[in-house]
Amino acid sequence: MMHALAEIIALSCFVTACLLVARLVAIRIRQTDLLRLDTVLAISAATPRMAGVPTHLPPFLVNKLARAGWEPDRRQIGVGAAAFLAPVVVALIASGILAAALTSVSLLFLALAALDYRANARIRQLSDCMLGLLERMRQLLSVGNSLAVALDRAVENSPPIVGQCLAPTLRRIANGSGVADSLERCAAELDVYELHLLATASRTNLRFGGSMTAILRNIIENIRKRGSVERELRANTTQIRASAWVLALLPILVATLVMLTNRDYARWFLATEKGHHMILYAALSQIAGVFCMRLVTRTRY
């Protein structure tokens, strides 16, 4: 039984690792898409730190916490560490060092996955509000406001998520920093496509001049076309994605029904070494199939 539990924990570690690798690949693809913008912006290679996030944490974790909107203090970090160590100690006492190590790795991967999910959800929410922000900025610029004033008033009249994410940028501008420099840093911190466009536009306008209103109009049109193409892609691939969900969930459903209706058949998988190997093979095959279907059905513009 303990051997089966160890294999299950190891399998959960493997699944989490696969998800993290897939996420890293997606981040790399996005960084490649934004390479041209980053070259124009000439963003510093130093890792930015947002206000409110403890600086004694690793840089990548600071960036994730900032994107997720979490600002833990020392007490909260201590509580989280205690909550992390408690199941590890229980596993160590109950099953030994191997179970404790697997438990710690599983909890670490699950915590990072939850933090990444929270950060991505918050950034998607911000991205959905950026079109309205740019439109309000364009209207304010067209009536004679400066770029700094237009940005401040547009953020003030935007949803709360925009104010929360751009508050450090507005503070930097109020303290004398340039609008282009502040937007570049914000784009580097949050890695939002629309913010990269806005930062590039402000830097280009500062360097070469021209009408910022016309630039924002073109950016808004580009974002709308991009959203329209993405919706069309999702609509055209609905049947494929539905088939992928069915193929992914059907083996799990069938295995569950068999296990519940035929206990003797299920006992062979749980009590014998060959059964453990079969379960591990089936789980690995299912994970590989889900990953391949994800690559086929994923739409990107």
Does position 52 have pLDDT exceeding 70, yes or no?
Answer: no
Q: Are 115 and 67 in contact (CB under 8 A)?
A: no
Does position 6 have pLDDT exceeding 60, yes or no?
Answer: no
Place 45 in a pLDDT band, splitting at 50, 70 and 90: very low
Token code pair at residue 110: 């699950």
Does position 107 have pLDDT exceeding 70, yes or no?
Answer: yes
Q: What is the pLDDT of residue 47?
A: 39
Does position 51 have pLDDT exceeding 70, yes or no?
Answer: no
Alpha carbons 126 and 187: distance in angstroms, whole number: 12
* 221 and 159 both lie in a single domain: yes
Does position 31 have pLDDT exceeding 70, yes or no?
Answer: no
Q: Is residue 84 part of a domain?
A: no
* 154 and 203 both lie in a single domain: yes
* 158 and 242 both lie in a single domain: no
98-107, 134-143, 204-213: least confident range: 98-107
* Domain finish residue from 180, 204, 230: 230
Q: What is the widest separation between alpha-carbon atoms in the chain?
A: 79
Does position 53 have pLDDT exceeding 70, yes or no?
Answer: no
Selected residue with higher pLDDT from 191 and 49: 191
Selected residue with higher pLDDT from 140 and 2: 140
What stretches of the chain show up as alpha helix (H) in DSSP?
A: 2-33, 35-41, 59-68, 74-95, 97-142, 147-156, 160-174, 179-190, 193-208, 212-236, 238-261, 263-271, 273-297
Q: Is residue 167 part of a domain?
A: yes
pLDDT tens-place string over residues 271-280: 788 887 888 8
* 221 and 251 both lie in a single domain: no
Give the residue-averaged pLDDT of 24-41. Answer: 59
* 195 and 253 both lie in a single domain: no
* 301 and 225 both lie in a single domain: no
Give the residue-averaged pLDDT of 70-74. Answer: 71
Number of separate domains in the chain: 2
Selected residue with higher pLDDT from 39 and 259: 259
Q: What is the pLDDT of residue 57?
A: 60
Alpha carbons 141 and 151: distance in angstroms, whole number: 9
Q: Is residue 270 part of a domain?
A: yes
Q: Is residue 264 part of a domain?
A: yes
Structural domain including 294 reads 237-301
Q: What is the pLDDT of residue 43?
A: 41
Predicted TM-score (pTM) of this structure: 0.62
Residue 284: CA atoms inside 13 Å, Cβ hemisphere, count? Answer: 10
Give the residue-averaged pLDDT of 80-104. Answer: 77
* 140 and 220 both lie in a single domain: yes
Place 229 in a pLDDT band, splitting at 50, 70 and 90: confident
* 223 and 254 both lie in a single domain: no
What's the mean pLDDT when you consider all of the chain?
77
* 152 and 198 both lie in a single domain: yes
Does position 108 have pLDDT exceeding 50, yes or no?
Answer: yes
DSSP for residue 48: P
* 266 and 251 both lie in a single domain: yes
* 203 and 275 both lie in a single domain: no
Does position 27 have pLDDT exceeding 70, yes or no?
Answer: no
Does position 162 have pLDDT exceeding 80, yes or no?
Answer: yes
Instruction: Tell me what percent of the residues of the chain surpass a pLDDT of 90.
Output: 1
Alpha carbons 21 and 28: distance in angstroms, whole number: 10
Alpha carbons 296 and 301: distance in angstroms, whole number: 14
Does position 4 have pLDDT exceeding 60, yes or no?
Answer: no
Q: Is residue 159 part of a domain?
A: yes
* Domain finish residue from 181, 203, 230: 230
Q: Is residue 283 part of a domain?
A: yes
Alpha carbons 130 and 195: distance in angstroms, whole number: 8
* 242 and 190 both lie in a single domain: no
Q: Are 132 and 139 in contact (CB under 8 A)?
A: no
pLDDT tens-place string over residues 260-297: 787 777 778 777 888 878 888 888 888 888 778 777 76
Selected residue with higher pLDDT from 27 and 108: 108
Q: Is residue 290 part of a domain?
A: yes
* Domain finish residue from 174, 200, 230: 230
Q: Is residue 7 part of a domain?
A: no
